[in-house]
Amino acid sequence: MNKKLIIIIAAVLVVGGGVAAFLLLGGEKETPIVRTEHILEQPFVVNIKESRSLMKCSVTVVLNTDTISEDDLALMNARMYDTILLTLRDSTEDDLRAIDLSPLKQKIVRALNERFEFESVMDIEFTSFAIQ
């Protein structure tokens, strides 16, 4: 009985080790996402909601270029400006003066992806940001 138990345990270990090696070393590999930074050349100047202050910022949009072509990107440029501008205008001074701008950035990314009906916009980066 001991020999049978040892053989069964050894077989399970060999099969388990083979499956683990396959998954860790040779399983399906994901294709890397190609990221492109699209610099919006004109800065945004916006009246801040419920405030007398103005905000000026420059934005770079980070895109997954596997799902969008350069030609499409050129056609989308004006709609990108419009979507970002409307999102910024809907932000309060407290939103804009926050130390962490991640919620605002996520809101802009969601708005852009909804506007274009695909998930190509991965992130946005503020390259300049000032409130007066």
Predicted TM-score (pTM) of this structure? 0.72
Residue 14: per-residue pLDDT: 59
- Model confidence pLDDT, tens digit, residues 54-108: 999 999 999 887 777 777 777 888 899 999 999 999 999 988 888 899 999 999 9
Helix (H) or strand (E) holding 109: helix 102-116
How many Å apart are CA 85 and CA 92, to the nearest integer?
13
Mean pLDDT of 8-12: 58
Number of H helices, E strands in the chain: 4, 4
Q: What does the block give as tokens for 8? A: 């069964």
The token duo for 126 is: 């503020």
Amino acid at 63: L
- Beta-strand ranges (E) seen in 6-120 are 35-39, 44-47, 54-64
